[in-house]
Chains A and B, each alone.
Chain A
Amino acid sequence: MSIDPLVLLVVAGGGGLGGMARLAVGNLVARYLGAGLPWGTLVVNLSGALLMGLAAGMLGLSGPETGLTWPLLAIGLLGGYTTVSTFSLQTLTLWQQRRKAAALGYVALTLGAGVAALAVGAWLAGGLP
């Protein structure tokens, strides 16, 4: 395995920016929709999935041969923007609060709408190559 330091730097920069964008969007959404369901993380993950679909449609399905664009946009920025750890924490918390319907709905909405958003993004960009 060969590691290109420039690619590492680009992934780190994209991941840092993506994480800060996740915080900003999460806070903004929570302010408007409240904290009843984890709307912030849902909006972050669905918008990130849509953008990832667009990126994959335009750039093709990854590969180190695509230069720095894929590591920056997909692995760094969008990879760092979206999150599974917070989703898992929130699902467990809803379940522990005995809000089982909300937990199941949150899981179904994230997975179902997430994969659909990706497919729509890829379709908008002309389909997966």
Chain B
Amino acid sequence: MIVWRAYAAVGVGSALGSTLRYLVSLALAGPAFPWATLAVNALGSWLIVGFAAYAARRTRGRVASWQPFLAGGFCGGFTTFSLFGLETLALMHQGHRAAALGYVVASLLLWLVAAWAGHRTGQWLAAARG
């Protein structure tokens, strides 16, 4: 039964995350550069590492028990690797090679800086709650 609860939590979280990602893409639609995916992937990286760092310090807390829903579910569905790749390929296909390269480099840097910042944020919040 525990297995099915994990699948349900991840499924519902991923459905919510995907829907929110779609809404962000509608709100930021327009420019040729894929700002929306860049933003959701960075934000999702910040969140998932924040949750993980917080849960590691507060192992019996609410964030820890909601981890499948929050991490694999919401953050997993909110962020997307396949659409990031498709946008890169599309930029290359349209002849915007510099933009494609810039998109990949900016994405990677932003994802990892966001992850590092999430680690600090999660640790700080866990410590602040004593």
Contacts and interface: CB of A to CB of B under 8 A. Distances in A.
A and B together in one complex: yes
A85 B18 contact: no
Given A51-B82, A52-B85, A86-B75, A15 B48 contact: no
B115 A89 contact: yes
A69 interface: no
A38 interface: no
A12 B6 contact: no
A17 B76 CA distance: 12
B11 A16 contact: yes
Contacts of B90: 56, 61, 128
Nearest to A117: B85
Q: State which size class the interface on B falls in.
A: 35 or more
B83 interface: yes
A89 B116 CA distance: 9
Interface of A, secondary structure class, is helix
B72 A107 contact: no
B15 interface: yes
Given A3-B26, A128-B90, A79 B18 contact: yes
A29 to B, nearest CB: 14
A13 B15 contact: yes
Contacts of A86: 48, 71-72, 75-76
A20 interface: yes
B102 to A, nearest CB: 14
Given A76-B18, A91-B112, A23 B23 contact: no
A23 B9 CA distance: 11
A83 B27 CA distance: 21
A22 B76 CA distance: 9
11 contacts: A8-B23, A11-B22, A14-B18, A16-B14, A19-B15, A56-B89, A61-B93, A83-B80, A89-B52, A128-B90, A128-B93
